Amino acid sequence: MIISRLLHRLRLLPAAAAIVALAACAGTTRNAVPTGTTDPDKFLFDKGTTALNSKKWLTAREYFKQVTETYTASPYRPDAKLGIGDTYLGEGTAEALVLAINEFREFLSFYPTHRRADYAQYKLGMAHFRQMRHPQRDQTETREAVKEFEAFVARYPASSLLPEVKEKLREARDRLSDADYLVGYFYFRQRWYVGAVDRFKLVLKEDPGYTRRDALYYYYAESLVKMKREAEALPLLEKLVEEFEQSEYLADAQKQITELKAQVLTKTSGG
């Protein structure tokens, strides 16, 4: 019996040691400011920044939280708030991205005129951008990303981040347009040309800069041809040729233009 109890205690020792070690690690960050440090808020912020750059998300977050929670009047507090958002964004899980959105929204609410407000707005858009789904799936997060990036463009036209934001905005808009284009293409394949035309028209109206509009022009025109509306199809094919020097639809479009011009000419001449 005594031997059995001894063995049981020996088995518990590694687990107990692990718990003590974890507690020590957790306490290391919270009590990391050396005695006599002149600027403890800066010390913690610098530690957090170093951990963030090393992608040690949890460690960085603890340092930044100490700054925001303990040194509420610190000039480093706004940047630490952004740092917390960055750790969640870096972590990248669905739950972390939701928390990142909350951090960046709070920053913009607390510090709307801060020198890094543009950064917060950009990262807010990126937190939604990272959650965008395939074109055939729900596009709620894509719409949110577009909204936040458009807000950035309107509010911070002189920001050095503007080119990167515009690039991400284009990607997000393309995702929305891809979703609508694929619906139109599905209708085309099902030979419901009226539905295809309506969807293609919607994409061009809402997103005239759609990156993959060469495919849209082509199938929009093809749908019109199937509906015996050749005169309306011709300008779409001409746009394809004018706007795209390279496209898998280019050769077929040029061939169609020649044929449609001949057909339209025949109709107008009464032949």
Q: Would you list the DSSP string of the chain?
A: -HHHHHHHHHHHHHHHHHHHHHHHHHHHHHT-SPTT-S-HHHHHHHHHHHHHHTT-HHHHHHHHHHHHHH-TT-TTHHHHHHHHHHHHHHH--HHHHHHHHHHHHHHHHH-TTSTTHHHHHHHHHHHHHTT---TTS--HHHHHHHHHHHHHHHH-TT-TTHHHHHHHHHHHHHHHHHHHHHHHHHHHHTT-HHHHHHHHHHHHHH-TT-TTHHHHHHHHHHHHHHTT-HHHHHHHHHHHHHH-SS-TTHHHHHHHHHHHHHHHHHHHTT-
Q: Would you list the DSSP string of 60-98?
A: HHHHHHHHHHH-TT-TTHHHHHHHHHHHHHHH--HHHHH
Give the pLDDT confidence score for residue 261 in this predicted structure.
85
Give the pLDDT confidence score for residue 22 in this predicted structure.
40
Give the pLDDT confidence score for residue 28 in this predicted structure.
47
- Consecutive 10-residue runs of the chain (271 residues): their mean pLDDT? 49 45 46 80 97 98 97 97 98 97 98 97 98 96 98 98 98 97 98 98 97 98 95 96 96 93 71 54
Give the pLDDT confidence score for residue 7 in this predicted structure.
45
Give the pLDDT confidence score for residue 25 in this predicted structure.
45
Give the pLDDT confidence score for residue 2 in this predicted structure.
47
- Cα separation, 108 vs 121, whole angstroms: 7
Give the pLDDT confidence score for residue 33 in this predicted structure.
81
